[in-house]
Chains A and B, each alone.
Chain A
Amino acid sequence: MPNIPNSWIGRSTARVTADGGEPGGLDERDGRTSAHSDPERAASDEAVAAAVAAVTEDDLDPAESGSFALSGESGTDAHGRGESDGGDRADGTVVVTSSGTTDDRTDVGGEDDPLETVDDSGSDVDERTSGPAADSGPDDHSGPHDDSGPDGGVVLRAEGLEKTYGSRLPFGRAVEVLDGASVEIRAGEVVGIVGENGSGKSTLMKALVGALDPDAGTVETSGRVGWCPQEELLYDRLTVRETFRLFGEAYDMDGDEVTEARDRLADRLDFAEFLDYRVDQLSGGNRQKVNLSVALLHDPDVLLLDEPYTGFDWDTYLAFWDLTAELRERGTAVAIISHLINEQERFDRIFELADGRLSDVTEEGSSQASDAGVR
């Protein structure tokens, strides 16, 4: 059994683009359906830029958010919303239970629901190779981005997450952060999770990715997971190039794969000239680019981003959304956590985390969404 990480699983099938070509270049567009032609995209960007110009300083908090507050009226759904709701289910699942156990499986048939859960008493780590993926050889490229499976393409499901930070000191205060938070994210969906400072967004993200054990509840993920934490969690004295090499090893990528993905991301997010810089010598924005790129390096099926565009300049911010749109068109599920979600139209659904619970505020638009930090 390959050394599969406990928190995400490598499918035993290769991933292909919509045209059936070679796996996953982020900048590959051929064969993909896009809702907008380039002129439309340009028009959308112009509208966004105009909206930025109109925003008052009170609406901006670049030091904190690194992003811009915009109204959601730049108009169009620029990203082919809903187009990716078709395709095979991912084959591997990861289940984290309230006891913190993780169940990695690329299953050998027999299970109806590829998102499997172990009960709270489970302490084992189970790795299996699954269903159609396991049965087929490496040339069978059934990808995760077809949601024709029994779960309608759900690639991440969290149910009833609870987390309270206790104090080890006798008179310390316990802080209840999550209180039954639940969410489902489907393939090809861009989901925003918004909430006030201290509402528990990063705690939720850590619980979703398996970096933090919830006190109760379950998290199930399907396919490879990429995680971009709010704090970079990188090695300060390694160069950017060395950082990618190290994480590439973690993702079980060979040198050529790492080089190809690294160069593509560096070009896309414009940090190629810094590849030989040490991480601690990078600016905050460039560190964040590397942080995000590490999460994208292995072409994940589920991408969990915690305040991903903090520190980005405008061009990089736009490049980030172009990249997100491409990922979504290919069926990657993207969850973006932010205290302030800009450009509501870029998201398929928006949740607000308040009082430890998640509620869907997508349709409520104006008042509640505005109160929740959605603009």
Chain B
Amino acid sequence: MRLNEKAIIRKSILELCNTGLPRKKSTDDVIRTIREKSGSEKEGNLWEYVVALGAQLSRPPFDPYREKIKLTTKIGRKGDQKVSLKMPILIYGEFDLSQSSKDALVLALNDLDDNRTTVGLISKDEPCDERKYPHFQILSDINKLADPDGIVLEYIGVKTEEKIEKIRKEFDGPILVEVDEYFAYYTAKLLELGADGILVNTDNIAKSEKYKGKHAIAIIHDAKLAINEFYRGKENDGACLVVAGDVNNAGKMVKAAGLGADVIGYDTSLLIAKVGHHSENFFDEEITAQKIFNHMIATKSELTGIPAALGYSDFHNLSPSDFRTSSIKASMQGNIPLEGVDKTYRNIVEEILDEYIDTKNISIDQQQKQKIICLVMEEEN
């Protein structure tokens, strides 16, 4: 930390001591602004601009030492075909691992299951016989279906829809579909056919033309909307949103869950396995497994802190209203309320438009109004 940043923090603390009043602006924001001006802040990382609202007078925190925060997650829409995770994490990533790294991973995942911290694995490989954890097989060829607990299909158009119909007849477990940037157009169809959820890789989708210049939070928000659209007018039976890609630490996981992610596709453990293999002269499976294990246990306790401070007893109850952002861009992309006004940017645009319509006495229907709001939001973005 630089000297001028230390001075800002000191000044801020002195202010609190002198006035006894809460800060009007977070100290982080002041530092962030300075960093932005100096060009040292990485531009466009909207995760940094999203903060948890914290405990309030009317919403006392659950004591995390007394009340356990539930992290258990079920994947699957039908009662008899659900996969249960003790942590909302599926280890998933695009790393090519050596056999010894894979063995270390299996060792770690089995140990985690023994310690009531079951997480799942998404892999192209066939499930290992000694596994205690749920294995989701990435299935490119329907004839290579082994004996997984769940299946992941990559969306490649109508063929995927046909595959789901076919697999659903012989496989009872959950089917997830890894979607491309056009998920909004076909998610409802996939769920209709019996898929149990979608997997969005924010890194891959953010590279597409459609999401050019947009952040992972926009992709998560839109993916949740696509699932919600399927449930319009009916009761939600639990279709799952798995978010992978740019969600690689506990802070981002909590924020992603608030935006609608049910499960995180997490590649950090794979990274540890890979790095363990390359950075040490002597690769020890047990030491690497222990590192992965420790990392997941620490992540587990990190995940419970914010939900507890927000008065929740279940991790999955986080919603966008639990967060605030100082960035208009983040508010627009993730529909997150802005700090200070407690309204989303969309709400503000709606209010201004309503006022204009009233003052000018304009006759306009709901559809036209929504079209104008979308145009304004699109342009601003």
* Chains A and B form a bound pair: no
